[in-house]
Amino acid sequence: MRLLVIEDDRETAQFLQKALRESGHTADLAGDGETGLAMAQGATYDALIVDRMLPKLDGLTVVKTLRAESNRTPVLILSALGDVDDRVKGLRAGGDDYLTKPYAFSELLARIEALGRRVVPEEQETRYAVGDLVLDRLSHRVTRGGEHILLQPREYRLLEYLMKNAGQVVTRTMLLEHVWDYHFDPQTNVIDVHVSRLRSKIDKTFDKPLLHTVRGAGYMISERAP
């Protein structure tokens, strides 16, 4: 993916550029809001990573300006502000996702990749398939190798989100946010327990595991092990 990182801290920006390159993406850097806005207007990017507090023009204004110009490039807002209202403000300004500093790079990578992939509107996909595992979004039926698997509603939504992002790492926080709509720290490994229950239903009686744990990052559903 071609990304633009608008971040005023040089060291953070260079770390992101290097780490993103190692993950197979290219990233341009902008050190302030004005430069960042001009670069976002002048070229086509797959996604933007925008720091909230920037010199010259703050991050939210950059996003608002782009949205006012009908620029739909996905935006991930980074912020050191962790206020309860800040997230709401960030998303209201037109951000697609919001990440609070300090963050793990794996979290940022998983989120930016999830954003960049949103090319096909998800409503149009009626069926997800990974290997012989099939999820039918119209009948809410899940089968593996033709065998029907009975899932609880929450397990179904968990699998749906994982399959929508098949082949990509999905972090625990992303699961908590998208499957449960919670933006708080659950204290314990609640997500792990839910994933392991799902795994026991879709993988246990089959030879080839599809639901993988990615160390230090999260989970991934894929035919090939990561």
Partner 1 sequence: MNALRDLLIRQAGTTAFRLAIAGMAAFLVGAAAVAWLLFRETNAVLTDQTLATISAEAATLAREAQARGIPSLTYAVRLMSHQEGPGLYYLADPGGRKLAGNLNRVPPEIAGNPAGGVFRFETGEGAEKRERLGVAVPVSVAPGITLLVGRDVDEQRAFASRLKGSFLTGFVALGLTGLLAGLAMSRIALRRIEAMTATSRKIMAGRLSERIPLSGSGDELDDLAKSLNEMLERIELLMAGLKEVSDNIAHDLKTPLNRMRNRAEEALRDAGGPEAYRAGLERTIEDADELIKTFNALLLIAKLEAGAVQESSVTFDVGAMVRDVAELYEPVAEEAGLSLTITAGTGPAIRANRQLVGQAVANLIDNAIKYGRRTDGRSGMPAPEISVEVREVAAGAEIAVSDRGPGICAADRERALKRFVRLEQSRTQPGTGLGLSLVSAVARLHNGSVRLEDNEPGLRVVLVLPR
Binding site for partner 1 (CB under 8 A): 82-85, 87-89, 100, 102, 104, 154, 180, 182-190, 193-194, 197, 215-216
- Contact criterion met (CB below 8 Å) for 120 and 132: no
Tell the smallest beta-carbon distance from residue 50 to partner 1 (Å): 21
DSSP 193: H
Residue (33 or 95) nearer to partner 1, CB: 95
Residues 220 and 217: their CA atoms lie apart, in Å, by 10
**Cβ proximity to partner 1, 81 vs 129, nearer residue:** 81
Cβ-based nearer residue to partner 1, 127 or 182: 182
Strands 170-171 and 218-221, by their bridges, are: antiparallel
Rounded Cα distance between 157 and 181, Å, is 12
Q: Which is nearer to partner 1, 43 or 88 (CB)?
A: 88
| Least distance CB 189 / partner 1 (angstroms) | 7
Min separation Cβ 208 and partner 1, Å? 25
**Alpha-carbon distance 40 to 201, whole Å?**
45
Of the pair 164, 172, the CB lying nearest partner 1 is at 172
DSSP helix/strand/coil, 183 = coil
Shortest CB 226 distance to partner 1, Å? 16
Min separation Cβ 95 and partner 1, Å: 15
Give a three-class secondary structure readout of 54-98.
CCCCCHHHHHHHHHHCCCCCCEEEEECCCCHHHHHHHHHCCCCEE
